[in-house]
Structure 1
Amino acid sequence: MRQRTNTAPTPKLMFARHRGVCKCGRGFIAGEQIEFDPISRNKRCARCIEKRLQVQPNSTNGQLLHFDSYRGVIQRLRTINSMARPLAPHVVNEYWRLMRDISTAPETSKSVKEFLETAARCCSPNGEERFAVSLSEDRDCVHCFEPQKIGEMVLMDFPNRNVHCIWCACTRL
């Protein structure tokens, strides 16, 4: 006779397929990381997950939560990009400050990569696709000839491997 194992489903971390509302009242959009409890069908946002992990550190069964801290920065950059032109000087200064913040973002930041790639596609004259990568060697931008240092986020077109700094490739202010 076979022994029955504990098959009670545990809450699992996943990316939301649709927008929804957390138990705390915060909304989340498709693509954000949430925790889904199959028994109660409740969903928790990233902040609630972090709070729960602080109280119960061993409750995720070895899963790691990769919280994208650049999500708010990217949301603000998208808002500024959608504003009517010409922009006020303080908004332009904020845009450049936020772009400087994401220029040193890790390559694993999904929201930064998506933003840079879509902004570069919108700003390029012929709509060519460029990929956001973190440099492994010092290179110069093909437009402004500014040196780009190791570890900085740049946009690269393949197979030519031309480097475009985020200032030249993603700005249309």
Structure 2
Amino acid sequence: MPRDRLLAAVGASTDTDVLFSSLREAAAIGAEIQLERPDPLTEALLRGAEMKRNMLKGEGGALSAQQLADHLGITPQGLGRKRERNQVFWLDIGDGYVYPAFQIGKTGLLRGIREVLNAFTVDDPWMRVNFMLTGDARLGSERPIDLLRQGEIDDVVVAAAAYGEHGAA
């Protein structure tokens, strides 16, 4: 990688930022990735991964199992049971799970999290997170997480149940 881009990457605030910066730059110019035929999807995949990371980062990032378990006053094994019962938002990162911080309140899980999770008809964890952190037409373009924090549980549950369905909102 050229020196100026390397210095910019090293100046990033986290190791993940360094990685994304380095990979994005390499994919953009193609020179550092030595492939016979560069994959035309590499840049798009990196942009998508970075968008996911930034979406979570804006709401406190993701917590390890130990961090969320400590906040909830349970063991990591107990948190695993909550994940298996569809009672917490989670993301599979390949070698384990992380838990989006947006779902926690001052004393535990945010009120309504379980109801929203039970209402979903989509199983993909990233689609569920995307629903919570982006505006939804069924909610007047408000973000579901913001309405949940305001106590609008029923409205968010109805929108979650319809999320992913084809047709008019």
Assess same fold via TM > 0.5.
no
Determine which structure has the larger helix proportion and give its number. Answer: 2
Higher Rg of the two aligned structures: 1
Tell me the TM-score normalised to structure 1 length.
Answer: 0.30
Tell me the TM-score normalised to structure 2 length.
Answer: 0.30
Determine which structure has the larger strand proportion and give its number. Answer: 1
